[in-house]
């Protein structure tokens, strides 16, 4: 069993006792206070590359990335450094995250005049997770195309729409791109890391992003460490980059985000 299959198998078992029918009214009432599209608009706004900064304690490929206290500390650092959006890992078993990480950051931002939209970064399989994301203050969810059947993706997208959440479709191949496009997405990300074996190669973005529909906001994810990597992503057509490990380990978060913006 490859790594992604292992994770998805665990995720389906992990949420099994939480699965139930989720009503349209629940999703609508949990939505983002009548402000749909916040995540999407934050990616479109910058004149240069938009930066989705990730809060990521550990990963199967890197092991422990950073000893991190409250997620609000890292979120505040990203906010001050000029990040456009946040990606917050909420998977505990493999990435050391939690829904409380997302909720505490969203609560912090909602109680101030400043704040940036947050993506719930997890292995989504059921609308109950979309409801949890909305209730925890997310502005977007992740849909990993490789990990899901078409009907599962459709259910997640419909639930996200009801809750006024954006959906970032993540792909790694032409076939996955075709499947994503069939869902009429607004945002597609190329994960440069093969989640089956956790090997990273920026050429995936360079090959796949030029094939995106013009209407789609393109995101390059993983394997971006410096300005040169960001320039490769932008040259391929990326409007945004999602960066975790490099920013978590950066000596100067502000300088690295500045480099990315100007790539």
Active site positions, annotated: 54, 56, 121, 170, 191, 221-222
User: What does each C-alpha distance from 233 to 2, 29, 33, 45, 228 come to in angstroms?
Assistant: 27, 37, 33, 18, 9
Which two tokens mark 12? 């389906």
Burial class (CB in 10 A: 0-12, 13-18, 19+), 60: middle
- The distance from CA 44 to its chain's CA centroid, rounded to whole angstroms, is 15
Among residues 130, 51, 114, 46, which one has the least CA distance to residue 85?
51
Cα(168)–Cα(65) distance, rounded to whole angstroms? 24
């Amino acid at each position: 069993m490859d790594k992604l299959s292992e994770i998805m198998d665990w995720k389906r078992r992990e949420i099994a006792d939480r699965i139930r029918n989720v009503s349209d009214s629940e999703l609508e009432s949990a939505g983002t206070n009548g402000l749909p599209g916040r995540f999407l608009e934050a990616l479109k706004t910058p004149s240069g590359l938009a930066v989705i900064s990730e809060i990521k304690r550990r990963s199967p490929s890197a092991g422990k990335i950073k000893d991190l206290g409250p997620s609000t500390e890292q979120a505040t650092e990203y906010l001050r450094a000029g990040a456009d959006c946040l990606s917050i890992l909420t998977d505990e078993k493999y990435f050391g995250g939690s829904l409380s990480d997302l909720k505490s950051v969203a609560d912090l931002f909602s109680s101030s005049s400043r704040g940036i939209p947050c993506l719930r970064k997890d292995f989504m399989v059921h609308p109950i997770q979309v409801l949890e994301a909305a209730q925890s203050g997310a502005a977007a969810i992740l849909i990993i195309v490789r990990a899901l059947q078409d009907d599962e993706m459709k259910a997640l997208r419909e639930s996200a729409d009801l809750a006024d959440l954006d959906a970032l479709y993540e792909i790694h191949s032409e076939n996955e791109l075709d499947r994503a496009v069939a869902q009429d997405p607004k945002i597609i990300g190329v994960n440069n890391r093969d989640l089956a074996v956790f090997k990273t190669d920026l050429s995936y973005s360079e090959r796949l992003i030029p094939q995106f529909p013009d209407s789609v906001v393109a995101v390059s994810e993983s394997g971006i460490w410096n300005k040169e990597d960001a320039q490769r992503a932008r040259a391929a057509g990326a409007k945004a980059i999602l960066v975790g490990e490099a920013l978590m380990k950066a000596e100067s978060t502000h300088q690295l985000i500045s480099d990315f913006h100007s790539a």
